[in-house]
A and B are shown apart, each in its own frame.
Chain A
Amino acid sequence: MYSEGKEVINLRKYLPWAAGVFLVLVFVIVFLVMQSRVTEAQNLLEASYQKGFFNLLEQVNNLNLLLSKSMVTSSNQQRIVTFLSIWHQAESARDSIASLPLGDRDLTYTQKYFAQMGDFAYSLAKKALNGIEIKKEEWDKIQKFRDTTQDLNKKLRELQDDVARGRINWEGKRFALGIGKNLNVGMADKFLKLDQKLKEEAPSITYDGPFSDHVENIVPKGLTGPLINSDEAIKIAGSFIDNPQNIKYDISIYGTAKGNIPAYSLSFSRPEQNSPAIIMDVSQKGGHVIWFLNTRDIGASKLTVQDAVNKSRLFLEKRGFKDFEATGSLTEDGTCVITFAKKQKDVIIYPDFIKVEVALDNGEVVGFDAIGYYTNHMERVIPAPKLSKKDVLKRINSRLSVKRIRKVIIPDPSLKEKFCYEVDAKLGADRYFIYINALDGTEEQILKVVETEKGTMTM
Chain B
Amino acid sequence: MKVNKNTLIIISLALIIAVVSLYFLVYKEEDSVFSKKIYSQKSALVTVRSSDYVLLARLVSGEARGEPYVGQVGVAAVVINRVKSPKFPNSIPGVIFQPMAFESVSNGQIWAVYPSRTNFNAARDALNGFDPTYGSLFFWNPSKTVSPWIWTRKIIVQIGRHVFGR
Contacts and interface: CB of A to CB of B under 8 A. Distances in A.
A100 B89 CA distance: 12
Nearest to A119: B86
A432 B1 CA distance: 90
Nearest to B98: A98
Contacts of B136: 259
A46 interface: no
Contact of A259 (B2, B8, B135, B150): B135
Interface stretch (B34-42, B54-62, B107-115, B124-132): B124-132
Interface residues of A, number: 62
16 contacts: A16-B3, A16-B11, A19-B15, A33-B26, A34-B26, A94-B89, A100-B99, A102-B99, A104-B149, A109-B87, A279-B70, A291-B132, A337-B128, A367-B125, A372-B129, A452-B48
A332 B70 CA distance: 18
Interface string A285-305: 000000101010000000000
Contact of B94 (A98, A102, A119, A255): A98
A30 interface: yes
A105 interface: yes
Contacts of B3: 12-13, 15-16
A381 B107 CA distance: 54
A34 B25 contact: yes
Contacts of B147: 104-105
Contacts of B86: 111-112, 115-116, 119, 211, 216
A275 B99 contact: no
A30 B99 CA distance: 29
A369 B162 CA distance: 22
A355 to B, nearest CB: 7
Interface of B: 1-3, 7-8, 11, 14-15, 18-19, 21-22, 25-26, 48, 68-70, 73, 84-90, 94, 98-101, 117, 121, 124-125, 128-136, 146-147, 149-150, 154-159
B149 A111 contact: no
B139 to A, nearest CB: 11
A22 interface: yes
Closest 9 A/B residue pairs (Cβ): A259-B134, A115-B86, A108-B87, A211-B86, A101-B99, A257-B157, A12-B3, A19-B11, A98-B89
A105 B100 CA distance: 9
A454 interface: yes
Contacts, number: 142
Nearest to B130: A369
B22 A30 contact: yes
A409 B141 CA distance: 41
B88 A111 contact: yes
Contact of B21 (A30, A91, A94, A216): A30
B136 to A, nearest CB: 8
A106 B98 contact: yes
Nearest to A111: B87
Nearest to B12: A19
B69 to A, nearest CB: 5
A226 interface: no
Contacts of B25: 30, 33-34
A238 B78 CA distance: 29
Interface in A268-283: 275-276, 279, 281
Contacts of B154: 258
Contact of B157 (A27, A106, A259): A259
Given A16-B3, A94-B89, A104 B150 contact: yes
A76 to B, nearest CB: 28
B14 A95 contact: no
A257 B87 contact: no
B22 A26 contact: yes
A111 B86 CA distance: 6
A216 B22 contact: no
